[in-house]
Amino acid sequence: MKQNTPVLAIILAAFFLFGSALPARALDRDDKCERRVHRAEENLERAIRRHGEHSRQAEQRRHQLEEARERCHRDHDRDHDHH
């Protein structure tokens, strides 16, 4: 049994190292996603203030906001499909 101890220790260390890294990457991606959506919301609000609610600029910013939200949703689904 003592001969297997180093092998078992290496396997456990690898499991803890790589097993904990995946959720950390997913959390980092979630943080980036939230920032991206927040920035898109701010850009939309700014476009509405400057150009009006139904302006071409506001419509472009709405489209960008929707794209950011869809990307986050896809990334979130992909993260959960792999776990």
Q: Please, which residues have CB within 8 angstroms of residue 22's CB and are 6 or more apart in sequence?
A: 82, 83
Q: Which domain holds residue 32?
A: 26-81
Mean pLDDT for 53-75 is: 95
In the chain, the number of structural domains is: 1
Question: Would residue 43 count as lying in a domain?
Answer: yes
The per-residue pLDDT for range 30-51, each reduced to its tens digit, is 899 999 999 999 999 999 999 9
Q: What is the mean pLDDT of the chain?
A: 83
Question: Would residue 13 count as lying in a domain?
Answer: no
In angstroms, the CA 8 to CA 33 distance is 38
pTM of the predicted structure, to 2 decimals? 0.63
Question: Would residue 16 count as lying in a domain?
Answer: no
